């Protein structure tokens, strides 16, 4: 007997969305000049109008951040800075439901994920870094470290609030001030965060938020008043930023794309591995830089494994992100949907076999069903390029060395997964894999204490943990 789920919609009444927003500069909301609509990708409803930051806005934000750095923040003791971070973390927890609902409306991700992952982790990043603010000399990074000054931070749309927390918390804990630009399609939780800064009575100008598109991001990157750039997004834009700062004194960290291999050996606990593969690629609609988008599967268990994977995929509930039962929400934008479609059509044309469970997709909004491709070879575009959607490419191997060779055959190196019951095999494989984060018998586990970042085209530097602090400090010696 199958039990059907009754709808369990979250109420949106907790959030109040203004019809139009400006920027947050020098502790105040200031009007923008041009605006663009931000929509709910699950319904295409216009939620609000967002200001597109111009040179004048970026100049004003950098000036406010400099003033706050020189006049207040760099003079304040770590203990006092820490108090503000603790306060921000607590307010985020108090307003957690509001943040979760707003994130889901603006981004399209299931409320279950924004409520249970994004918002608690964002608050955890502030708590963790609040603890470091007065203990930096004990972080093993040297005793004469200094903040860079004003940090320009540019974040993507896949984890809007969480990426803000990854950037703002370590910057503030180490004594930097911030000019942050959220992604064009997902600015609303950053603007709610600005209200939290006001509520926490954070000194004016310590955090400035300038909304806008890529051109606003470029203005921040190229601004002479910025001392450090922290970027998360595509490898393509990361390369543009690396070129732009190459001839300057700006310090830079880049968190870019990935094409992670999730390797399943024939001695793996199969049911757990199936669950891990599902989580690895379908969490957050696959809009995850470290998503396990390539399943590298030992050939002798491939048939049994794929059968179980398909049975499990049949149970994925796709639809209204505000429904607490939903597993897979909306694709964040029409542009991203077109990119996913283009790459999957390339998969068909290059000869891979596509499979999706039967699922009715809503008629409005941007949707893509959970999809796997079998018969994928290493030359296929779907094995090489970041699809950034709910699409898994399955490759097979016969020997452990072949698994490693296939996993490493990518210009990226952000993350990898290993599924095996043998500890020795896990340790051997982890040493061979060229990836910044490696999970064994689990996937997509995030923690503020743990450094995150990649090799090769996946970026430079680490975020989180002690390593992440060093990116916001000058004169660091790694002891």
Residues that bind ligand NDP (CB under 6 A): 154-158, 181, 183-184, 213-214, 217-218, 221, 232-234, 237, 240-241, 256-257, 289, 336, 339, 386, 388
Identified catalytic residue from 52, 197, 289, 290: 289
Residue 159 · residue 125 · CB < 8 Å: no
Tokens, residue 132: 């470091």
Count, residues in the chain = 479
The question of whether 289 is a catalytic residue gets the answer yes
CB of 184 to ligand NDP, least distance (A): 3
CB of 105 to ligand NDP, least distance (A): 18
CA distance 34 to 54: 8
CB of 224 to ligand NDP, least distance (A): 16
The number of beta carbons lying within 10 Å of the beta carbon of residue 248 is 14
The number of beta carbons lying within 10 Å of the beta carbon of residue 97 is 16
CA distance 261 to 169: 30
CA distance 37 to 172: 31
Identified catalytic residue from 113, 255, 385, 457: 255
Nearer to ligand NDP, 175 or 212 (CB): 212
Nearer to ligand NDP, 213 or 266 (CB): 213
Concatenated DSSP letters for 420-460? Answer: -S-HHHHHHHHHH---SEEEES------TTS-B--SGGGEE
Nearer to ligand NDP, 44 or 335 (CB): 335
What residue is closest to ligand NDP based on CB? 217
CB of 427 to ligand NDP, least distance (A): 28
CB of 166 to ligand NDP, least distance (A): 11
Residue 125 · residue 448 · CB < 8 Å: yes
**Phi and psi torsions of 179, nearest 5°:** -120, 115
CA distance 18 to 11: 18
Nearer to ligand NDP, 107 or 396 (CB): 107
Maximum Cα–Cα distance for the chain, whole Å?
68
CB of 14 to ligand NDP, least distance (A): 26
Concatenated DSSP letters for 225-258? Answer: T--EEEEES-HHHHHHHHHHHHTSS-EEEEE---
Nearer to ligand NDP, 121 or 240 (CB): 240
Nearer to ligand NDP, 154 or 433 (CB): 154
CA distance 394 to 309: 11
CB of 342 to ligand NDP, least distance (A): 10
Nearer to ligand NDP, 57 or 184 (CB): 184
The question of whether 463 is a catalytic residue gets the answer no
CB of 132 to ligand NDP, least distance (A): 24
Q: What's the first-to-final CA gap in the chain, in angstroms? A: 60
Residue 371 · residue 397 · CB < 8 Å: no
Burial of 3 (0-12, 13-18, 19+ CB in 10 A): exposed
Q: Which residues contact 307 (CB under 8 A, 6 or more apart)?
A: none
CA distance 442 to 199: 38
Nearer to ligand NDP, 48 or 441 (CB): 48
- Residues annotated as catalytic are 255, 289
């Amino acid at each position: 007997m199958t039990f059907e789920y009754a709808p369990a919609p979250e109420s949106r009444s907790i959030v109040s969305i203004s019809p139009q927003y400006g920027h947050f500069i020098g502790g105040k909301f200031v009007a923008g000049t041009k605006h663009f609509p931000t929509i709910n990708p699950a319904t295409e409803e216009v939620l609000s109008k967002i200001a597109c930051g111009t040179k004048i806005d970026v100049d004003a934000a950098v000036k406010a951040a400099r003033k706050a750095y020189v006049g207040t923040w760099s003079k304040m003791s770590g203990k006092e800075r820490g108090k503000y971070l603790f306060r921000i973390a607590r307010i985020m927890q108090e307003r957690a439901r509001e943040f979760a609902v707003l994130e889901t409306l603006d981004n399209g991700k299931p409320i279950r994920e924004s409520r249970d992952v994004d918002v608690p982790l964002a608050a955890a990043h502030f708590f963790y870094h609040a603890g470091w603010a007065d203990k930096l000399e004990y972080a093993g990074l040297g005793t004469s470290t200094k903040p860079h000054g004003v940090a320009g931070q540019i974040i993507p749309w896949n984890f809007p609030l969480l990426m803000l927390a990854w950037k703002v918390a370590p910057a503030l804990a180490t004594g930097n001030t911030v000019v942050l630009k959220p992604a064009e399609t997902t600015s609303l939780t950053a603007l709610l965060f600005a209200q939290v800064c006001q509520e926490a009575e954070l000194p004016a100008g310590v955090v400035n938020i300038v909304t806008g598109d890529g051109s606003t991001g470029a203005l921040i990157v190229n601004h002479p008043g910025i001392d450090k750039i922290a970027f998360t997004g595509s490898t393509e834009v990361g390369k543009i930023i690396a070129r732009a700062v190459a001839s300057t004194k700006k310090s830079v960290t880049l968190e870019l794309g990935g094409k992670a291999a999730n390797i399943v050996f024939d001695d793996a606990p199969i049911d757990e591995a199936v669950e891990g593969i599902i989580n690895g690629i379908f969490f957050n609609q696959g809009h995850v830089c470290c998503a396990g988008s390539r399943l590298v599967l030992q050939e002798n268990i491939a048939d049994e494994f794929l059968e179980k994977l398909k049975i499990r995929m049949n149970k994925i509930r796709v639809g209204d992100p505000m429904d607490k039962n939903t597993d897979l929400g909306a694709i964040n934008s029409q542009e991203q949907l077109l990119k996913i479609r283009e790459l999957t059509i390339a998969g068909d044309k290059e000869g891979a076999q596509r499979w999706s469970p039967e699922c009715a997709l809503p008629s409005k909004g941007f949707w893509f069903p959970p999809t796997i491709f079998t018969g994928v070879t290493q030359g296929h575009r779907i094995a090489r390029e970041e699809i950034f959607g709910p699409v898994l490419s399955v490759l097979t191997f016969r020997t452990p060395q072949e698994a490693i060779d296939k996993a490493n055959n990518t210009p990226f190196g952000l993350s990898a997964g290993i599924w095996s019951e043998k500890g020795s095999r896990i340790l051997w494989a982890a040493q061979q894999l060229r990836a910044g984060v490696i999970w064994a018998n689990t996937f997509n586990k995030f923690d503020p204490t743990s450094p995150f970042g990649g090799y090769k085209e996946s970026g430079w530097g680490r975020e989180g943990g002690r390593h992440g602090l060093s990116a916001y400090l000058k004169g660091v010696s790694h002891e």
